Amino acid sequence: MKQDIFVRMALTLIALLLGVIALRPFFDPPASRAQVPGSDLYIEPGVHTLHARDGSRELLGKVVVDLRTGNVWGFPTGVNAPYPVSNTQSAPPVSRPFLLAKFELSAMK
């Protein structure tokens, strides 16, 4: 009789704890990330004005930092959107990056 009560209490406790684990994502969802953890690229949120180093162009686009080399790249979008947009082409537009600047990461030591 005592063993039966103990087994029922243990199973009830296990069921409650499993319910807590199963319901936790509904009450505290994990943050979504555009970046892949451990990636060597940092993508700046938003769209910014990109200035070519030689002054030849100034346009809207995304800023990407290569964390291995410190190079800062600009991916033109042409519009205030996070990706390139073209209504005249049937194929998706391709954004070709150009070098904006370089961070000297080795100087931080």
Please, what is the average pLDDT of the chain? 86
pLDDT in tens, 63-99: 999 988 899 999 998 888 888 887 777 788 888 999 9
Annotated domain spans of the chain:
1-30, 41-108
- Distance, CA of 60 to CA of 72 (rounded, Å): 15
pTM across the whole model: 0.59
Residue 50: the pLDDT is 92
pLDDT class for 109, splitting at 50, 70, 90?
Answer: confident
Q: Is beta strand 71-76 parallel, antiparallel or unpaired with respect to 58-66?
A: antiparallel
